[in-house]
Amino acid sequence: MPVPLLTCLLLSGLMLASQPLKSQPPTGELELSAGGFLKVHGLVGDISSDEHLRGNQELWIPHIPVEPDNTDSSRGTLQARNSRLWLRARGPDTPLGRMEILVEGDLMEDMTGYRPRLRHAYGMIGRLLAGQTWSTFTNTAALADVDSGTAVGNTVTRHNVLRWTQPLGERLDLLLALEEPLNRLHPAGQSGFITRSDRREEDIVLRLNAYPDRGNLSVSLLRREISVHSATASPGDNRHGGAISIAGRLETGGLDNLRFAVKYGNALARHSTLGAYPDAVIETDGSLSLNTVYSTLLAWQHYWAPDWRSTFALSHSRSRLPDSAAGTLTRSAVSAQANLVRSFGDQWSLGLEYLHGQRHLKDGRDGQIDRLQLTLRVNF
């Protein structure tokens, strides 16, 4: 029996076993709510000569320029594309639990205008969630609180997810999910990636999440099918790989907290370093060579006062690119961010952040960026 079908059956069994159907109509009212924030970024620093690149507006590792591309340290940008709006409907209670639907978007669809982009769109009934949202492999409580994009070691994958959350105790959850099987493959001897999501088993993610008194800790396991289906005489190839993530947030005294993540695997590339690494290389004979990746993140958030906070984040990732991979691919990346943010009540915040990013190519070339960013955020 295929693993995804077995997982579906397991999810269905868990759902029915924990909340048996009753012949009662839904109760309660439907609650509608909306919220979000307006965010304006102004940044100065190293910006590529191609001004429409996403990497010119936030940290995007593949867009860190290397020679012969040019940067202009005297340039600046001003944009509000990271503004967000969410709409939510909750209730009524059903025999399977409370219903919830959430849609969230921002304006990051392209870098030349303000086209809306869908971030989250999911429905929930009780413990079952279906739709587009954070991958179950991501512990969102462990993500570094930085505004200049995201740290290299942050896993920020959002895609289609079918997830069941099973409480194992007051402070322990088990999450089991089937997720969109997107593969990013690099043909040997060529440049760039091929992206495929069809005719593949869904990704399977299992995560154990604990909520001790002083924070949040998770262990996630990921299993993916990496495959290439060829229309030529070449037979194609099909591999299964995995990854593990240990991540969390620990309160270190007062409001301060330490966030960390360590990840490793030969199917990790999809969830690492903002898409800089391929899942595998398609060799000339049609076989696949999986790409082993590891990443680390350490971020300390310190509160100077209740309304003043800073985050100091340091992150690194590296991939063991197969020998046949092109020299222009990224082999490793580093990011370092430090910020100072002042909050004004619950609605306003103003922050200054320094970003340093590096990437190292397989052929030995390096690139780096240094930027200073001012961010205004207004909650509504």
Partner 1 sequence: MTAFRRGILLLLLAAVSACSLDSAPAPSTVSDRRLHAVMTESLDLELARLDTLTFDLHRTPTELDRERARRLEDIARAAQRLRDSAIRIRNLAPTLSLGDYERERFDLLATQLAEQAEALSAAAHHNRLERLTTQMAQIRRTCDSCHSLYRGP
**Residue from the set 145, 221, 238, 338 that interacts with partner 1 by CB under 8 A:** 145
Task: Report if residue 162 touches partner 1, rule: CB under 8 A.
Answer: no
Give the Å distances, CA to CA, from 354 to 80, 147, 260, 333: 18, 10, 20, 17
Task: Report if residue 147 touches partner 1, rule: CB under 8 A.
Answer: yes
Nearer to partner 1 (CB atom), residue 67 or residue 213: 213
Alpha-carbon gap, residue 189 to 235, rounded angstroms? 19
Nearer to partner 1 (CB atom), residue 72 or residue 308: 308
| Smallest distance, partner 1 to C-beta of residue 309, A | 8
Rg of the chain taking only CA atoms, in angstroms? 22
Task: Report if residue 252 touches partner 1, rule: CB under 8 A.
Answer: no
Task: Report if residue 103 touches partner 1, rule: CB under 8 A.
Answer: no
Task: Report if residue 88 touches partner 1, rule: CB under 8 A.
Answer: yes
Show the site string, 213-232: x = touches partner 1 by CB under 8 A, - = not: x-------------------
Task: Report if residue 100 touches partner 1, rule: CB under 8 A.
Answer: yes
Task: Report if residue 254 touches partner 1, rule: CB under 8 A.
Answer: yes
C-alpha torsion sign, points 68, 184, 57, 357: negative
* Enclosing H/E stretch for 13: helix 3-18
Binding part of the chain for partner 1, among 110-118, 145-153, 190-198, 365-373 by CB under 8 A, reads: 145-153
**Residue from the set 75, 120, 159, 362 that interacts with partner 1 by CB under 8 A:** 120
Of 174, 283, 301, nearest to 230 (Cα)?
Answer: 283
Note whether 148 and 353 are within 8 A (CB). Answer: yes
Note whether 175 and 165 are within 8 A (CB). Answer: yes
Give per-residue burial for 70-88: e unless 16+ CB within 10 Å, then b.
Answer: ebeeeeebebebbbbbbee
Nearer to partner 1 (CB atom), residue 244 or residue 378: 378
Residue 198 CA to its chain's centroid (Å): 21
Task: Report if residue 133 touches partner 1, rule: CB under 8 A.
Answer: yes
Task: Report if residue 57 touches partner 1, rule: CB under 8 A.
Answer: no
What is the SS3 assignment for 52?
A: coil
**Residue from the set 72, 189, 255, 365 that interacts with partner 1 by CB under 8 A:** 255
Of 108, 57, 99, nearest to 81 (Cα)?
Answer: 108
Alpha-carbon gap, residue 292 to 226, rounded angstroms? 13
**Residue from the set 3, 14, 38, 141 that interacts with partner 1 by CB under 8 A:** 141
Binding site for partner 1 (CB under 8 A): 35, 86, 88, 100, 102, 104, 120, 124, 133-134, 140-141, 143, 145-147, 156, 211, 213, 251, 254-255, 306, 341, 343, 346, 349, 377, 379
